[in-house]
Amino acid sequence: MKSIDILMPYPMLPIAQEQLEAAFTLHKLFEADDPDTVLAEIGDRIRGVALGFGSVDTAFLRKIPNVEIVSSFGVGYDHIDVDACLAANAEVTHTPDVLSDEVADTAIGLMIMAIREFGQAETWLREGNWKHKGPYPLTKATLRGRKLGIFGLGRIGKEIAKRAEAFGLEISYHGRSRQEGISYPYHASLKELAAACDTLMVVAPGGADTEHAVSAEILSALGPDGVLINVGRGSVVDEAALITALEDGTILGAGLDVFENEPHVPERLMQLPGVTLLPHVGSASRFTRDAMGQLVVDNLKSWFNTGKAITPVPEMRQK
């Protein structure tokens, strides 16, 4: 496969970079002094893209007119214009399943942190308050008796539900349709789900269809004991509406791993005491990130060896 040219626009983990370098002719665009000039020179030869970061749109695809496959790192692919890839006859792959357990662990950890204020309690200890002022105040909220509403009961959502069952939480969900063989109650609208639960877990994908789905109206339906957890995509939540809802007590708290404009987190959000914030670490262990990197490599190798990718995005199966 050494005769096959692969483009890597941004750095990737060693596990991916080293294997791709050994198997293909790898062009590391991020090492070029002038990436545009390099791309103009080699663009026609590129047959595959290993995408760890950055977006893919029509303008980019025009620079690599003979591309056959875009192998993307991560399960979400809202940064890739799939219609443009279909029009360019380019396969798109992602890395589902291998990260589901890790993200579900993060979601549960974040939920408990947000509800029991463990981040704030640790700061209390580190700042010497325990010794000088006494115990950390009792938390307003508890996990006991909580009703968990999952927005996006997919691969990750189901792993979250499995874990939440062990914590004794009552579970229901919303998605575009009721799922067969799932016993958790289904709510036909997100508003109905928010009204029925007090802990809303967002694990739906980003993109135009879900943009700002969690609006002021949804937060109001969630109510004053409500806690919002987001491990899906920042774009799904109207961040300005969320800040207002937290400030005026429309909801109780939030645990966020994803934001609208990463890595920028609004100052007003950071000032709020009842909020737990993580820097998008859902899948970020070496173990899981290596598994994702390996799948990026395996998709490319499979495509060029057999003409089939291992984990194409769903839209590719419909073509």
Phi, psi of 229 (to 5 degrees): -120, 130
CB neighbour list of residue 146: distance below 8 Å, 6 or more residues apart: 115, 169, 170, 198, 199
Q: Give the interface size with ligand A2R as a residue count (CB under 6 A).
A: 21
Which parts of 207-236 interact with ligand A2R (CB under 6 A)? Answer: 209-210, 232-233
The yes or no reply on residue 237 touching ligand A2R (CB under 6 A) is: no
The 8-class DSSP code of residue 145 comes to: T
Would you call 280 a catalytic residue per the annotation?
A: yes
Instruction: Closer to ligand A2R by CB, 205 or 266: give it.
Output: 205
Which parts of 148-177 interact with ligand A2R (CB under 6 A)? Answer: 152-157, 175-177
Out of 62, 262, 268, 315, the active site residue is 262
The 8-class DSSP code of residue 225 comes to: T
- What Cα–Cα distance (Å) separates residue 236 from each residue in 107, 210, 280, 311? 16, 5, 15, 24
Instruction: Closer to ligand A2R by CB, 5 or 78: give it.
Output: 78
CB of residue 141 to ligand A2R, shortest distance in Å: 25
CB of residue 95 to ligand A2R, shortest distance in Å: 9
CB neighbour list of residue 166: distance below 8 Å, 6 or more residues apart: none
Per DSSP (E only), the strands in the chain are 5-8, 25-28, 46-51, 69-72, 91-93, 147-151, 170-174, 199-202, 227-230, 253-256, 275-277
Out of 233, 239, 260, 289, the active site residue is 233
Q: Are 56 and 93 in contact (CB under 8 A)?
A: no
Residue with tokens 């970079």: 17
Which parts of 247-306 interact with ligand A2R (CB under 6 A)? Answer: none
Would you call 262 a catalytic residue per the annotation?
A: yes
- What Cα–Cα distance (Å) separates residue 88 from each residue in 99, 157, 178? 29, 32, 34
Please state, in angstroms and rounded to a whole number, the distance separating the CA atoms of residues 319 and 314.
Answer: 9
The yes or no reply on residue 205 touching ligand A2R (CB under 6 A) is: yes
Would you call 155 a catalytic residue per the annotation?
A: no
Kindly write out the interface string for residues 72-111 of this chain, putting x where it contacts ligand A2R by CB under 6 A and - elsewhere: ---xx-------------------x------x--------
Instruction: Closer to ligand A2R by CB, 17 or 100: give it.
Output: 100
Phi, psi of 256 (to 5 degrees): -125, 130
CB of residue 276 to ligand A2R, shortest distance in Å: 18
Instruction: Closer to ligand A2R by CB, 29 or 114: give it.
Output: 114
List residues near ligand A2R by CB under 6 A: 75-76, 96, 103, 152-157, 175-177, 203-206, 209-210, 232-233
Annotated active-site positions, please? Answer: 233, 262, 280
